[in-house]
Amino acid sequence: MIEVIKTKHIGFCFGVKRAVSAVLREAGRSKEKIYTLGPLLHNPQMVEILKENGVEAVDDVSSVGSGLVAFRSHGIRKDEEEEIRAKGLRFIDTTCPFVKRVRRHALYLRRNGYRVVIAGDRTHPEVKSVLSYLDDDGMVFHSSFPIEAKKIGVVSQTTLDQETFSDVVRALAAGAVELRVYNTICESTNIRRREAVELAGVTEAMLIVGGKNSSNTTKLFQTVKGIQPRTYHIETEDEIREEWFAGVHKVGIAGGASTPDTIIDRVERRVNNL
């Protein structure tokens, strides 16, 4: 029989739990339809469950005429927030507080004359959100890129890996007279990565469970795969293939910040029954 070991920190992170609870609470007591701008979280299975509870993801505020709007946990764009307010729509701000901290630091830096650099992925909704609140007056770097400026201020996407962040900071240290850096990688991201790496060291195969569209899950997968070649990224237990575990006695399970406990449990059970 295969022994299954899970990381200590698994299931929703603080920000995702907070957003999902708030939306489900509203869904339970409200007769109105609830809309989220983009998926509330990057987990297709959970987004499906929300839909069954009357919570629908839409791409565009303009398609919402009435009802309640919930902000996605990664934050929405400034113009979206303005449109929601202008339309007089009821809303609940379910933006992760740690994402708001990124925004707050970025705005503080800009107000104080720093050229703002966001270390992260410019296609990720969180980065798009922060950038929009800077009125797009910011740069996004995902690798070493030196720029010259008297004052450079840096924040990081909450789900960025520490190595990339450090590389970005290193490159900027050369061209700035003053460099001010807020390390806004969230603690949950760091802890999960550390625990997953440690678990990979004592197991023979690893399962990383979470949305394929989830930034933190994908980075977790890449990090662990670099240590343990027998690492597989799955969204649900149905993707598990028996041949992955030929000759394997110990399997580790780690999950992204937007992976619900229920899916982790089902994955664990499936491996136990192989």
Catalytic residues: 126
Least Cβ distance, residue 102 to its own copies (angstroms): 13
Residue listed under structure tokens 């992204």: 256
**143: contact with its own copies by CB under 8 A:** no
| Binding of residue 92 to its own copies (CB under 8 A) | no
Q: Residue 171 Cβ, how far from its own copies at the closest point, in Å? A: 8
Contact (CB, 8 A) for 96 and 16: yes
By beta-carbon proximity to its own copies, the closer residue of 46 and 130 is 130
Per CB under 8 A, does 171 bind its own copies?
yes
- Say whether residue 173 binds its own copies (CB under 8 A): yes
* Shortest Å, Cβ 144 to its own copies: 10
> Which C-beta is closer to its own copies: that of 166 or that of 213?
166
Q: Total number of residues binding its own copies (CB under 8 A)? A: 17
Is the CB of 114 or the CB of 133 nearer to its own copies? 114
Residue among 45, 166, 213, 228 that touches its own copies (CB under 8 A): 166
Nearer to its own copies, 137 or 178 (CB): 178
- Binding its own copies by CB under 8 A: which of 20, 55, 176, 264? 176
Residue 134's φ and ψ, nearest 5 degrees, are -90, 10
- Verify binding: residue 181, its own copies, rule CB under 8 A: yes
At 250 the three-state DSSP class reads strand
Task: Give me the DSSP letters along 95-132.
Answer: --HHHHHHHHHHHHHHHTTPEEEEES-TTSHHHHHHHH
d(CA 245, CA 90): 50
Sign of the CA dihedral running 230, 235, 236, 239? negative
- The piece of 6-14, 63-71, 158-166, 238-246 that touches its own copies (CB under 8 A) is 158-166
Strands 139-141 and 115-119: parallel
φ, ψ (nearest 5 deg) of residue 116? -90, 130
Torsion of CA 17, 22, 26, 32, to 10 degrees: -90
Q: Between 25 and 170, name the residue whose CB sits nearer to its own copies.
A: 170
CB nearer to its own copies: pick between 63 and 143 = 143
Q: Is 98 near its own copies (CB under 8 A)? A: no
According to the binding rule CB under 8 A, does residue 180 interact with its own copies?
yes
Q: Which of 167, 198, 204, 239 binds its own copies (CB under 8 A)?
A: 167
Distance CA 104, CA 134 (A): 10
Interface segment toward its own copies; rule CB under 8 A; list 2-10, 78-86, 179-187, 213-221: 179-187
> Is 50 in contact with 85 (CB distance < 8 Å)?
no
86, with CB counted inside 10 A (0-12, 13-18, 19+), is exposed
> Which residues of the shown chain bind its own copies in the complex (CB under 8 A)?
162, 165-167, 169-171, 173-174, 176-183
